[in-house]
Structure 1
Amino acid sequence: MGLMDSSVAHGAAGAALMGGWAFYANSGHAMPAPLWAALVQGALTAGVTVVLKRVQEALVPRLQGAPGLVGPPVVCAAISFCLLYTIHSLAGTPEVLATLAVPVSVATLYACLYTWRLWSRG
């Protein structure tokens, strides 16, 4: 198994990048709000990335044709937004929508690309 197939690599990269974004999105607020948002987003991204990767790996082989290509990214986008919105709201993240803008967009793009990779392998 290569680095591109590693759940740990996918989760760790996502955690570092999206935690950094959450810090930036909340940097206009006093500490520890940006740090807390970064830690929450980093942990969520690591966990969500691994879960979404596995959801895609389970769905793609079960869905034939266009549904196998479109369905998994739509499911992943919905799971990502709902979960992140709920947890950031509960955690008191000041800029929830700004915090989610990049992670949900990247998660959806990731889901599209990874689904394509799995789908094209047949």
Structure 2
Amino acid sequence: MGTAGSRTKPMFEKTEQWMSPLSPNEVLAAISTAFSSEKARIHQDEDFLDIRTGSNWQYRLWGNLFSWSRRNIPVAITVRVRAAEHGTQIEAHAFDTFGIRLTDQAFFGAKETFEDRLNELLAMAASAAKASPEA
């Protein structure tokens, strides 16, 4: 009976917008290809990508102890594309899918880890789409 509204609000989220000279389909394909190397679970629609990376249980088990466990933080990225005059307008929203609140004691450094990972994944999406920040 879960509804989208009942999902725990992310602790960490970030939205960015870019322009790409590629067509909307090329943007979705390029970003999808880039994230397949991350073992991401990807759902693609006509003008939308839903990308899920990381592992809740691995991050709960290992937290920030190791570089590989930090790479496993559970993150989702949604990418929406819209045809524009000179290519494609892209909006990407990255957020954690951890589902429980972290206390400061639970995982020391979690905030930095999540922020770094969100920035890294958004940069990866922008790079794949050969996108530049919107003016």
Place the TM-score, normalised by the shorter chain, in its bin. 0.3 to 0.5
TM-score (norm 1): 0.41
Structure with greater proportional helix content: 1
TM-score (norm 2): 0.38
RCO (CA 8 Å, sep 6+): is it higher in 1 or 2? 2
